Amino acid sequence: MYKGLPMSETQKQKILIVDDHPTNVLVLRKILEKEWDVQSAPDGLTALQVANEKPVPDIILLDVKMPDIDGYEVCRRLKKSPDTCDIPLIFVTSLREMKEEAYGLGLGAVDYIIKPVNGSIVKARVRNHIALQQARKELTLKNKALEQLAIRDNLTGLYNRRKLDESFAQEVARSDRYNRPLSVIMLDIDYFKAVNDTHGHHVGDAVLVQTAEILLATLRTSDIPGRWGGEEFLIICPETPLDITVKLAERLRLNYESHDFHEAGRLTASFGVSTHHKGTHAKDIFLSADAALYRAKNGGRNRVESEIQKSE
């Protein structure tokens, strides 16, 4: 179940007050410090430095008139940086003209408060904007989680068929453009139906999960593993010629047959390896790998076979 952003009960959100007048800072601090962790900066340059310190402020209250760079320039710079662009900014200023307020909001500020401030109004606006920012962060996390669900196999957590197709198309384009090697490994668990029939599907599922763990533990960081379907897995191996991919598949085979699958005992897997050649259709590498896998199955299983795809 999805949970919101982790936040201990004692952890307070961070507010940065930027004002060159200590009295103004003191007034705002007294209003806010009981509910939030309040920090301050006496000028724009210091504010930029503090705003980039981790964790970044949850909100910034910013004066406009300051001696080195004014609040408008501070706002511009914060909004240009990917590290600080999402921090809500509230201008707190004595500038009362509507054109000033419109200008500040146009730079990306979320609010504009006129001095002298009213404590209740300041707290209400700060509270509202922090809550809104928190909701946005949680929505971003949920969207990322949904994106992962769309590309991951629910059982193993590896890439699903859709994501493998997408990744492979990208790697083929890169291979063709830069004339770089690209190979794939197809893996099929031997006698997997017997595992389900003998021990039940819950054991079969556990085997699939452990298969994914073996892949992740054995493969290189550049390899792209995924569940192709059923008990079949595919590994995309960028920048890897056929002979090196065959050695990688053999290492996978050895690790697989030595693994204890608990209730299912010792199992084996068969492997088909193929490589992509520029000028051939992208799907031909899968047909070639599948043909090699078929040979491995017919040749007694628990073996690696390769079939080089020939260009036309």
Q: Which of 101, 171, 231, 305 is catalytic?
A: 231
Give DSSP secondary structure letters for 185-239. EEEEETTHHHHHHHH-HHHHHHHHHHHHHHHHHHS-TT-EEEEEETTEEEEEEET
Q: Would you say 160 and 248 are in contact if contact means Cβ atoms under 8 Å apart?
A: no
Contact 123, 95 (CB under 8 A): no
Please give the torsion angle defined by the CA atoms of residues 36, 42, 44 and 45, in that order, rounded to the nearest 10 degrees.
Answer: -110
Cα gap 163→177, rounded to integer Å: 21
For the CA atoms of 166, 171, 172, 176, the dihedral, rounded to the nearest 10 degrees, stands at 150
Torsion on CA atoms 185, 191, 197, 203, rounded to nearest 10: -50
The SS3 assignment for 299 reads coil
Is residue 138 part of the annotated active site? The answer reads no
State the alpha helices, DSSP H only, in the chain. Answer: 22-32, 44-51, 71-80, 98-106, 119-151, 161-178, 192-199, 201-218, 242-257, 284-298
Phi then psi dihedrals of residue 190, to 5 deg:
-70, 135
Q: Alpha-carbon distance 262 to 213, whole Å?
A: 14
Give the closest residue to 309 by CA, choosing from 265, 279, 264: 279
Residues labelled catalytic: 231
